[in-house]
Structure 1
Amino acid sequence: MSGADFQARARSLRARFDALADAEPGLRVRTMADRLGVAEVELLAAQCGDMSADRLDVRPLDLFRELGQVNEFMAVSRNPWCVHERTGRYQDVRIEGQIGVVRGPDIDLRMFFAHWDSVWLVAQTGRRSLQFFDHTGTAVHKTYATPNTDLAALQALVARHGAAAPQWPMLRAPAVPMLADRPDDPQGLRAGWLALRDTAQFFPLLRKYQVSRVGALRAVGSDLAQEVGAQSLERLLTQVSLMGLPVQCFVSNRGIVQIHTGPMYNLYRAGPWLHVQDERFNLHLNVLAVASAWVVNKPSQDGWLTSLEGYAENGELIVQFFGVRQPGRSEPRRWRDLLVDLCNEPLAC
């Protein structure tokens, strides 16, 4: 695309963006991208609204290694139905090949960099952020400066890599895995499930039997996975909030899993959204988007692990909750009792 074509495309998108913003003030950027039929990263390339954005000349995984130098950020990962925000430092960053982990006391992530494509420095309404996008132009992860961010270190990090030459994002259609809704060998799937010793073995198990997550839950047996009412998510969060019971909350998209470990105190409902607004952790969950909820039992070397999982109409995972436990110890009885109470049939645990 020539420079003139780039500018013409950017002007056209800015005009459409401004018209939508005038007609419906207050829409979030991701919603505006959906309404305009473009990818969110294209709004950055066009410098829409009050956004000033520069694509950095660095691979996302290489920049990620350096985030710990900038003190505190607010880490944000989301899917279409749930947003997970955690404030802290990017500590203990480890990357091997295309897989990365962050295991700090506040920010806890699992990254799958094969899906990541570009990183942008964005300034909007006086707030600076680094935003990471996948090959479809969808945000994988964003990290926002806070009052405790070392802005000089952030500027030095950005300056080391510099801005890439302006170009319109080259987007790809999302890769949709061809997974069956029913396994060909449900007995084999169940046997493999019962042989699990670590939750990390679950994804290879699904790939081995070429079955979707919900398809596996339906097939494996009610003692291992039991569907409960979709309203169970709100019921459970209300209970753990009132009890002050620590939980692990997992929110993911194709490129990342973001984890909160701890209590969730300030819980409230606003329209379809259930919100947690705590000092260092925020969660925004569209409970009306939860088409099914499941209590799931998986064996491990430390005993049974029990989770509550919410799924969208298309079968995609929205959110997972586990009990908090120390390595080598079983899950808390109070947590397990809450989930057992949701079930109509006995669980394997």
Structure 2
Amino acid sequence: MSAPHPVIREAFGQLRREARLRHRDIAEKLNLSEGGLIAAHVGNARDTTDSPLQATRLRAEWPALIEALEPLGVVMALTRNAHCVHEKTGVYRKASHHGQMGLVLGGDIDLRLFYAQWAHGFAVSEDTDKGTQRSLQFFDASGMAIHKIFLRPESHLAAYLELVEQFRAEDQHPGLTPIARPTAEPEQPDSHIDIEAFRQGWASLRDTHEFFGLLKRFAVSRTQGLRLADPRFAQQVDLASAQEVLNAAAQENVSIMVFVGNAGMIQIHTGTIGKVVVMGPWLNVLDPGFSMHLREDQIASAWVVRKPTIDGMVTSLELFDAHGDTIAMFFGERKPGKPELCEWRGLIDRLLHTSPEVVCAA
């Protein structure tokens, strides 16, 4: 049983001031989910607590809320999983949804949203040394963070406040009751899988989006599918491959796509990268408008993956943790109807120490 909400708020304030810990780390110390930590601050009046944070619970009208974000102007979008954080600055343009699936195709902000996983949302205001930080934060039923949107100095504060009032929930009592995340089903034995049919299905792909359906049809996990694939389509590579590829992409000005996500969100960066920095276990991209922070020590396997499409082969570098969960995926920049960049294939060929299939034009 968690501590009373005033106790949580006081502990948060102390840890935030003295240890400078992130919300996620404070929640772990207090044996809470991150969503539970934020929810404990709903209804918090700053004049009666030591906590610098205040939260407003939002109605669970997620597609409408996301589609109402454009008037806020430039904001910072943050999506993370256990081992990687992806931050993009831009405007939430061209937001749409079909059922429980959503899209934001605003150029800099490029998202795939899976609303069935969304359970809780809050408008969060926190006093910091640099002033008041305002954000919108969304969590799944267990209280795990799905997506966060942070205002920047150039954001339109009046539009933000109007949006918070528009989507403010009637229930402003603190706290949430977490629901445990379902455990992943164990992989079926390789011997139960028609490997030949699976490989034929892979070779017959015509779109990268068909890959998830292929895995589902044969009831294999992603990493199991990579293990069972024809070697021409999946090759395991060194755990340091991401660092090698990102450094080469930065040095050679190759435009790439960086996918980072969780069960409720995938966030994508498309473009060149500049500053690649290693800090302890963290592999970082630190560019204006885009940052990535990846725990290299949590990479359990790395794969070069190829998928046939009507536009030719699409090649990715994919990273997985010890549970088989995806940490991050890297592609060359591409759009439907166009083949992937020759320069990207060259980076991957060098990673694999193979001769390039196609020589890029000078």
The TM-score normalised by the length of structure 2 is 0.89
Superposed, which structure 2 residues align to 1:21-40 within 5 Å?
21=16, 25-40=19-34
Task: Note the C-alpha offset of 1:108.
Answer: 0.3
| 1:348, distance to aligned residue in structure 2 (A) | 9.7
- Conserved? CA contact 1:182–1:219, under 8 Å: no
Query: Once structures 1 and 2 are overlaid, which stretch shifts more, 94-103 or 179-188?
Result: 179-188
Matches within 5 A, 1:49-64: 49-64=51-66
Cα pair 2:40 2:174 within 8 Å, conserved: no
Pairing of 1:84-95 with structure 2 (within 5 A): 84-95=86-97
Aligned identity (percent) is 38
Residue pairs, 1:1-349, within 5 angstroms: 9-18=4-13, 20-21=15-16, 25-47=19-41, 49-124=51-126, 125=128, 126-165=132-171, 166-178=173-185, 180=187, 182-183=189-190, 184-343=193-352
In structure 2, give the amino acid aligned to 1:251: V
- Aligned residue type for 1:71: G
Aligned partner of 1:12: which letter? V
> Using the alignment, how far apart are the partners of 1:15 and 1:152 within structure 2?
30
Shift of residue 262, structure 1, vs aligned partner: 0.3
1:199-245 CA deviation, whole Å, 9 max, x = no partner?
A: 11111111111111100000012211000000111111111111111
Change (3 A) 1:329 1:57: closer
Which amino acid letter does the alignment assign opposite residue 82 of structure 2?
Answer: P
8 Å CA contact 1:206–1:213 kept in 2: the answer is yes
How many pairs were matched up? 343
Counterpart of 1:11, as a letter, is P
Deviations 1:62-88 (Å, cap 9, x if unpaired)? 211211122111000000110000000
| Deviation at residue 99 of structure 1 after TM alignment | 0.2
The runs of 5 or more residues in structure 1 that have no matched partner are: none
The range that moved more, 65-74 or 101-110, is: 65-74
Cα contact 2:249–2:255 (8 A) shared by 1:
yes
Q: CA RMSD in A?
A: 2.2
Determine helix, strand or coil for the equivalent of 1:11.
helix
* C-alpha deviation, 1:247, in angstroms: 0.2
- Report if aligned partners of 1:224, 1:348 keep a CA contact under 8 Å in 2: no
Aligned residue for 2:187, secondary structure, equals: coil
In the superposition, the TM-score normalised over structure 1's length comes to: 0.93
Match of 2:46 in 1: none
Instruction: Go from structure 1 to structure 2 and tell me whether the alpha carbon gap of 1:233 and 1:212 turns closer, same or farther (over 3 Å shift).
Output: same
CA contact (8 A) 1:261 1:324 kept: yes
Partner of residue 47, structure 2? none
8 A contact 2:34–2:144 mirrored in 1 = yes
Alpha carbons of 1:239 and 1:217: their partners in 2 closer, same or farther (altered >3 Å)?
same
Consecutive unaligned residues in structure 2, runs of 5 or more? 42-49
Q: Work out the CA distance in 2 between the residues paired with 1:129 and 1:73.
A: 9
CA–CA distance in structure 1, aligned partners of residues 170 and 303 of structure 2: 45
